[in-house]
Amino acid sequence: MAASQEHITAGLPRGATLVDGGVAFRFWAPAARRVYVALDGVFTYLPDPDDELVLDPATGDWTGFFPGVEAGTKYRFYVIGAGGEGFKRDPQARELELYGYPECDALVVDESAYPWHDEDWTPPAAADLIVYQFHVGVFAATDAMSHDRRPHRTAKLLDAVQRVPYLAELGVTAVQPLPVVEFQGEWSLGYNGTDLFSPEMDYCVDPRALPPYLDIVNDLLAGKGAGPLKFEQLAGQANQLRAFVDICHRYGIAVVFDVVYNHAGGGLDPQSLDYVDLPEQPGPYNNPYFSAEGWAGGRVFAFDRAPVREYLTANALMFLREYHADGLRFDEVSVIDAKGGWTFCQELTTTLRAAAPEAVLIAEYWAEIPRLAVEPPPIGMGFTLAYSDRLRDVVRAVIADRGAGVGRIVDGLNAPSWSYHCLENHDLVLDMDDHRAPRIAQLADPSNPRSWYARSRSRVATGLLLTAPGVPMIFMGQEFLEDKLWSDSPGRTDRLIWWDGALGGDPHMADFLRFSRDLIRMRRALPALRGGAVSIISVDETNRVVAFHRWVPGVGEDVVVVLTFSESTLHDYRLGLPRPGRWREAFNSDYYDHFPNPQVSGNAGAVVADGSPMHGLGQSGALTVPANGLIVLRL
């Protein structure tokens, strides 16, 4: 049957929408002369009037309803423009044909076909986030014999999902995978996306290899009292991404997707959204989705065009609605701002807050006034959190230079509560020709990242990250003292994180993993560490000590953190404390060296604040502070 305008309304989304009796298509190509829908996976196509879409000249959209078309149907748009004719993939395709990219079809997807198990899920508040960043393609993959698959192929989402119980035991409250949408090639960081609505096919499992994964997924669901999936419910790429989110939620972990709205590509092929309407003389000023500017090897979106802003906003809404995302991390918002996207960011956050008020919106914003990222419109852009390098830079500086003054740490501790902190991330410790910075253990002792110096100073650094104001993010492997730079290439076996070391092959890595688990558990247990106020008690450059007070205003829940980068243990160290009485030693980093450390330097469980006033406080106590150590006291 010929296409018609039945079911075509002003509110019809762009892309392919399942409606009663078929599929309604909407495709934006404002300067195209004709547009057709080529169904059923044809390799060559002759325009057929029955397949032709109708132009709405007011919007530049081409629309049509095709009766009888079902979920799973292959399709591409066929565009005739002033400069030629050819196939175009749907820029809002929810899934692409698994093989043949970039010359592949899109698939009609029924987003309601996945049986979610997260109906009782409540995401953590922004202040309660402890985020774990990882790259799907190199994170983890083992076969039935527990052999590492990563040296031989790109790891999959359904490999990563098998580490969810590990992450739950670690205690993180959210994961932040690097971008998971389609990009050119088998492996990449993911920031060169070309098809922003489609999962990266190399992260997905071919249905022919799915049965053992189906068993694993169903075992994970059963472990949390959830019913099984059927084969067909896990076979699609979109549903494999949904299953990852679903299982994270069942195990108490939120999912924050990393999205890139400052540019698309490189590697924008002829069937992509690049020059979507095939103009006669493609140039910098007649590319509907893009401006004349470039960034990171790709094209910057044209933020001044309403359909482009709608496209990007629809992408964000897709993750929140169709994938049950708990938040989004927005790449290089400072570039969006610099390229004319300030108003777009305001529109975007306003729309997302109305649609999902609980969603956390994290801006990577490096402009001169960072708080403008989180100030609500019209003053600011309205994100929830914004990246900060204040804590990262001062901690790294002190670790790198054993003689550096510790007072600079105060600047990091005084960062605003909306700061999104890390010590390592995908950019910082990536192995490239211009490689950025070493891992913390390597920075602490370049000659031996397993030495006592490396272990102890890494514990202090991680302790600071988890006790400072703001929201902490840790990068894969950081929790078990991984010292190698990483690579997004599975072929770089020398750059894969060493799971066997963490799980027993290296006692120091196993000890550090235990340290990280307990530290995260403490942060989750103490409200003052997650959202409370901070006050510096003392900076002692002679003994290289910093002490600070955390508390919940109007409530109490007092916590004192004391750390030193001194390489000698400090005995009978006098420190002012906020309240009199017995302060329990809730955490001592020295305990985790050769765990359980038989020679731990500590305070026998408590410190009594019964001494004379000190540091502007009404009382003081005598402490033992372990060398290169961090202790946490609580009432």
Q: Each residue of 1-24: pLDDT tens digit?
A: 789 999 999 999 999 999 999 999
pLDDT digits (tens, 9 = 90+) for 48-63: 999 999 999 999 999 9
Percent of the chain residues topping a pLDDT of 70: 100
pLDDT band at residue 238 using 50, 70 and 90 as cut-offs: very high
Tell whether the model's pLDDT for residue 461 goes beyond 90: yes
Map tokens 């230079």 to a residue: 401
What's this model's pTM, rounded to 2 decimal places? 0.97
pLDDT band at residue 430 using 50, 70 and 90 as cut-offs: very high
Q: How far is CA 274 from the centre of its chain?
A: 27
Measure the CA dihedral 391/394/399/402, to 10°. Answer: -150
pLDDT band at residue 187 using 50, 70 and 90 as cut-offs: confident
pLDDT of residue 51: 97
pLDDT digits (tens, 9 = 90+) for 200-234: 999 999 999 999 999 999 999 999 999 999 999 99
pLDDT band at residue 435 using 50, 70 and 90 as cut-offs: low
pLDDT of residue 37: 98
Tell whether the model's pLDDT for residue 434 goes beyond 70: no
Query: Rounded mean pLDDT of the chain?
Result: 96
pLDDT digits (tens, 9 = 90+) for 318-359: 999 999 999 999 999 999 999 999 999 999 999 999 999 999
Across-strand partners of 19?
22
Annotate 179-209 with DSSP letters as a single string.
P-EEESSS---S-SEEEEEEE-GGGS--GGG
Distance CA 621, CA 205 (A): 59
Dihedral of CA 291/286/309/101: which sign?
negative
pLDDT of residue 402: 73
pLDDT digits (tens, 9 = 90+) for 61-88: 999 999 999 999 999 999 999 999 999 9
Q: Give 565's DSSP letter.
A: -
Q: Find the mean pLDDT for residues 428-436.
A: 82
Residue 258 amino acid letter: D
User: Are the CB atoms for 583 and 632 separated by under 8 Å?
Assistant: no
pLDDT of residue 490: 87
Percent of the chain residues topping a pLDDT of 90: 93
pLDDT band at residue 491 using 50, 70 and 90 as cut-offs: confident
